[in-house]
Amino acid sequence: MQLHIKNMVCDRCILIVGQQLKQLGFEIEQISLGLVNVEPEPNQQQRIQIASAMQVLGFELIDKEKDKLTEQIKNQVISIIHQSPLNELKQSPAQLVAERLNKDYAYLSRLFSEIEGTTIEKYIIQQKVEKVKELLEYGEYNLSEIAFQMGYSSSAHLSTQFKSVTGLSPSKYKALPPGKRKPLDQVI
């Protein structure tokens, strides 16, 4: 039985959801961002119990097909932006999402905009900016290196996009005390 779970954005989320489902007596066949295959198939009372347990942890059990697909789009974007070296990608992140989900990009784009009130491209930019914030806070790379890692054509392009999203230049952001990043599940 496949369960779709909203707000799973990292490996730690996968670990926590897996542990919780095991405590509830389910065997995990496979688990990834936003998706868990469990055995045995939960009955209605168990689904309510799972939903309640997930909600306590900040997750949400998803039942509607459109919501499931929207969450899959988000999870693919997060995976691409936060777990892949973007400078090595041959395709745009948006096209890669469509390819990974084996769906028409125009359909995914309309659905995402309808459900989330923003475009996939803007969501990708928001996620990239959060990753840039993380890299700036770590202080291991200069802006040119970050721009290259994040797949920007130049540090000027990165700076312009960063400022349009945050209202701050990367250097002004870096001068602020740490802790101004958003949790990935709250980025829209």
Residue 3 has pLDDT above 80, yes or no: yes
Read off the tokens for 146. Answer: 């970050």
The Cα–Cα gap between 34 and 73 comes to 10
Asked whether residue 186 carries a pLDDT value surpassing 90, the answer given is no
| 127 lies in the same domain as 146 | yes
Mean per-residue pLDDT over the chain, rounded: 91
Q: List Cβ neighbours of 46 (8 Å cut-off, separation of 6 or more).
A: 24
103 and 143 in one domain? yes
Q: Same domain, yes or no, for 102 and 160?
A: yes
93-101 and 105-116 helices, crossing angle to 10°: 100
- Kindly state whether residues 122 and 111 are assigned to the same domain: yes
Domains of the chain: total: 2
The pLDDT of residue 164 is above 90: yes
Nearest of 109, 29, 106 to residue 77 by alpha carbon: 109
pLDDT (tens digit, 9 = 90+) per residue, 13-44? 999 999 999 999 999 999 998 999 999 999 99
Per-residue pLDDT for 129 more than 70? yes
For 63-110, the DSSP string reads -SHHHHHHHHHHHHHHHHHHHS-GGG-SS-HHHHHHHHHTS-HHHHHH
Say if residue 100 is in the same domain as residue 181: yes
Q: Which structural domain, as residue segments, surrounds residue 32? A: 2-63
Q: How confident is the model at residue 126 (pLDDT cuts 50, 70, 90)?
A: very high
Read off the tokens for 159: 């700076």
What's the pLDDT band for 91 if we cut at 50, 70, 90?
Answer: confident
**The domain boundary residue, chosen from 13, 45, 63:** 63
